[in-house]
Amino acid sequence: MYNAVLDTNIFVSSIFWELGNPHKIVELALDKKIKVFTSVKILQELEKVLRRDFNEPDEMIHRQISLILAYASLVRIINRVNVIKDDPEDNKILECAISCNADFVVTGDNHLLDLKEYHGVKIISAKELIEVIKNN
């Protein structure tokens, strides 16, 4: 089973677009085909984005975070990194991935995708992870 860290944009897309690849990634996690890890900082960012960009009420936000915590393991961050200079907020995704020895970071963010790999963690899109799982 693969260990994956999902970027905030994957969580957001999975919530609002049920036919998209990010939602399929969440279904893989719910079906225990992959193990998802997250951090407090990632969940805080998700909460902020849902409130600020989508004007979602607290009840919906807390329900979504509870659902995520039902299939994702919360990671204590061990190492801080400062790799992504153009968008330092993205470093929290790498920190989580390193802290849990993830196989993959799944993202739609070009700052992360451009890295391709960091400390042995492959950085791929949701579509690419679905292909990896389908072929194994």
* Ranges of each domain in the chain: 2-134
Provide the pLDDT confidence category of residue 38 given band limits of 50, 70 and 90. very high
User: What residues have CB less than 8 Å from 114, skipping those under 6 apart?
Assistant: none
Q: Are 83 and 69 in contact (CB under 8 A)?
A: no
pLDDT above 90: percentage of residues in the chain? 96
Q: What is the pLDDT of residue 80?
A: 92
Decide if pLDDT at 32 tops 90. yes
34 vs 23: CA distance, rounded Å: 13
Q: What is the pTM of this model?
A: 0.96
pLDDT tens by residue, 44-80: 999 999 999 999 999 999 999 999 999 999 999 988 9
Q: Write down the CATH superfamily of domain 2-134.
A: 5'-nuclease (3.40.50.1010)
Decide if pLDDT at 136 tops 90. no
Q: What is the pLDDT of residue 79?
A: 86
